[in-house]
């Protein structure tokens, strides 16, 4: 059964208000991720990055593909997108793709599949992908920090703002294992994101969390200053610490149904 491409799409927009901060403060995906994706596709003519946000994944794909089409339903996010000569940005929802059939080698959804209406998205992916084309979903979950600062992070993420994560966040924490994924599985190597940050850089990242925004909106106070105090107690201002995020990747190939 195909997607109803005429019915309206409900857009869960939790990040447009902080689009500029999101673009500056989020960690970057590892090169090994994009190398693996380029190695499993039928050809490297066209990659499609859906819910691209600031285009971080799209720019990473551009080294391995002749062309990348990156789309998002948020014009505010696209206004902060990283420019690249092989990346073209478009504003539209992931559930309805203004593309011809059978043109893409790869479709990626980075850190966003849990927000989408996947029963509507998946038929569109089957339609636009070439035979044996590849679908890649990935997300990174709660990070860890080298050293004693990790205890302060764990308490903040799970206790102070833990109840303010949206329900969809559970899909990220369980590694997308429970998401429907009607494609022929492809081996996905273990991966992680890594950054060498100061405490202030980490706090700028935490400031982009949806749970922090919801805490402020519902409680009327900012939880970050208290967290900052606990964090810097074991993380001096002039010190860079290594931050690790588990990266959960689902890979599959389109085969005839």
- pLDDT the model gives residue 33: 97
Asked whether 241 and 201 are in contact (CB, 8 A), the reply is: no
Describe the crossing of helices 199-206 and 224-232 by its angle, rounded to 10 degrees.
150
- pLDDT the model gives residue 146: 84
Tell me which residue has tokens 């979903």.
137
Q: What is the pLDDT of residues 125-157, one digit of tens each?
A: 999 999 999 999 999 999 999 888 999 999 999
CA–CA distance, 134 with 129 (Å, rounded to integer) = 8
Q: What is the pLDDT of residues 22-77, one digit of tens each?
A: 567 889 999 999 999 999 999 999 999 999 999 999 999 999 999 999 999 999 98
- pLDDT the model gives residue 19: 45
Tell me which residue has tokens 């960690």.
27
- pLDDT the model gives residue 24: 76
Radius of gyration of the chain (CA): 19
Beta-bridge partners for 72 = 91
CA–CA distance, 163 with 184 (Å, rounded to integer) = 35
Entry pTM: 0.88
Q: What is the pLDDT of residues 190-227, one digit of tens each?
A: 999 999 999 999 999 999 999 999 999 999 999 999 99
Q: Which fold has domain 16-142+167-192+246-253?
A: Rossmann fold (3.40.50)
Q: What is the pLDDT of residues 86-133, one digit of tens each?
A: 999 999 999 999 999 999 999 999 999 999 999 999 999 999 999 999
Burial class from Cβ neighbours inside 10 Å (0-12, 13-18, 19+) for residue 185 reads: exposed
């Amino acid at each position: 059964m195909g997607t109803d491409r005429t019915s309206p799409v409900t857009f869960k927009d939790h990040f447009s208000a902080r689009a500029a901060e999101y673009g500056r403060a989020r960690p970057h995906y590892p090169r090994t991720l994009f190398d693996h994706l380029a190695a499993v596709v039928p050809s490297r003519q066209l990659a499609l990055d859906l819910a691209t946000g600031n285009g971080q994944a799209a720019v990473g794909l551009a080294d391995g593909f002749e062309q990348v089409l990156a789309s998002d339903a948020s014009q505010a996010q696209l206004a902060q997108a990283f420019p690249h000569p092989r990346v073209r940005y478009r504003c539209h929802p992931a559930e309805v793709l203004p593309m011809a059939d059978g043109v893409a080698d790869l479709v990626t959804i980075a850190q966003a599949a849990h927000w989408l209406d996947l029963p509507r998205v998946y038929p569109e992916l089957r339609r636009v992908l070439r035979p044996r084309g590849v679908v890649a979903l990935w997300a990174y979950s709660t990070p860890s920090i080298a050293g004693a600062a990790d205890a302060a992070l764990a308490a903040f993420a799970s206790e102070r703002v833990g109840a303010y994560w949206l329900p969809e966040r559970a899909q990220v924490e369980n590694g997308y294992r429970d998401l429907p994924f009607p494609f022929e599985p492809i081996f996905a190597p273990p991966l992680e994101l890594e950054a060498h940050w100061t405490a202030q850089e980490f706090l700028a990242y935490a400031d982009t969390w949806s749970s922090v925004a919801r805490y402020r909106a519902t409680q009327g106070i900012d939880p970050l200053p208290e967290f900052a105090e606990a964090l810097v107690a074991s993380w001096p201002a002039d010190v860079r610490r290594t931050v690790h995020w588990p990266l959960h990747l689902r890979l599959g190939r389109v085969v005839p149904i």
